[in-house]
Amino acid sequence: MTAGSVPDTSHASGAGSIFETAWWLDAVAPGAWSEATVVRDGECVARLPYVLKRVGPVRIMANPPLVPVLGPWLRPIDGKEEHRLGQEIALLGELIDQLPAADVVVQSLSPRLTNWLPFYWRGYSGQLRYTYRIEDPSDLDRVWSGLRENIRREVRKASRTVEVRRSTDVEAFLEVFRPTLPRVGKPGRLEDMIRRAERASRERDASTILLAVDESDRVRAGTMLVRDQGAVYYLLAGRDHRDAPVGAPSLLVWEGIKDAAERRLAFDFEGSMVETIERFFRAFGARQTPYVRVLKSSVRGRAFEAVRRLLRRPAM
């Protein structure tokens, strides 16, 4: 199937995520994504988007930046558990069998998928990874009491030195996010990607930029939140590394949680496997939520990965 050939299931059914929509993928991976689909009686019942790129002769299928998890989406299946699992396995198998040949596959799947056996049976390996979620932040007193005490202190302290503003100024956000870019990838390309994603989501009322601004009207920290019908996602965050007020990032997270509560949505930290970042997310009382990253490599793909690891090794 070609890009955009089926409806945006995240908003049509509430079953998918913003990261699976055609418009989001058009923004972050223009011309590079497609999807496997299963159609029954003229209706799409399953889809698995993917992004394919080339590095020389090597074909790589992987989540692009700003797409922490990607599919699959399955239409809800009714009936007994044995029937439901059987249909799920069959649909997943049909999707996987449509995927194009790739030398390296590294795709993180949605936390909705708990059954990755069809991938395993087709030679994929899997890594268990985690995000952190507050499923129901509507009772803010309860959420506040669940925050680690040092986070509560930081939020109180920062609220006395900075003002949190909602903004549509992506350039102001990029000013404080820019120091993070070299650790993520090619800065120029990523900045353009962020601009496209922010513009596309703002046009659909699916994003919020929060800026922490001091008394001299200087932006000291910022975060970009995006949302679908199920959750608000803590997608990007940055701060002024020179002298950002202590607690400004914590204050922005708390304001994001409040935003999710107002919208009656979950709050998803889009978790990290980095120890220090995990510790920060966990401090907000969020629930650890597992998801699976599937991997597969051809002989050429394994050789490519070995060379890449060698090139990344620091010189003696």
Domain range list for the chain: 9-130+291-312, 138-264
- pLDDT number for residue 185: 57
Q: Exposed, middle or buried by CB within 10 Å (0-12, 13-18, 19+), for 43?
A: exposed
Contact 282, 271 (CB under 8 A): no
Domains 9-130+291-312 and 138-264 share a fold: yes
- pLDDT number for residue 235: 96
pLDDT in tens, the chain (316 residues): 434 333 343 333 334 899 999 999 999 999 999 999 999 999 999 999 999 999 999 999 999 999 999 999 999 999 899 999 999 999 999 999 999 999 999 999 999 998 999 999 999 999 999 999 999 999 999 999 999 999 999 999 999 999 999 999 999 999 999 887 766 556 678 999 999 999 999 999 999 999 999 999 999 999 999 999 999 999 999 988 777 678 999 999 999 999 999 999 999 998 788 888 899 999 999 999 999 999 999 998 888 888 877 776 655 4
CATH architecture of 9-130+291-312: 3-Layer(aba) Sandwich (3.40)
Beta strands in the chain (DSSP E): 33-40, 43-55, 58-62, 73-74, 104-108, 125-134, 163-167, 207-213, 219-227, 231-239, 266-268, 287-297
CATH topology of domain 138-264: Aminopeptidase (3.40.630)
The Cα 266–Cα 144 span in angstroms is: 15
Q: Tokens 């513009």 appear where? A: 199
Could you count the other beta carbons within 10 Å of the beta carbon of residue 139?
11
CA nearest neighbour of 39 among 110, 100, 98: 98
Q: Exposed, middle or buried by CB within 10 Å (0-12, 13-18, 19+), for 264?
A: exposed
The Cα 154–Cα 246 span in angstroms is: 7
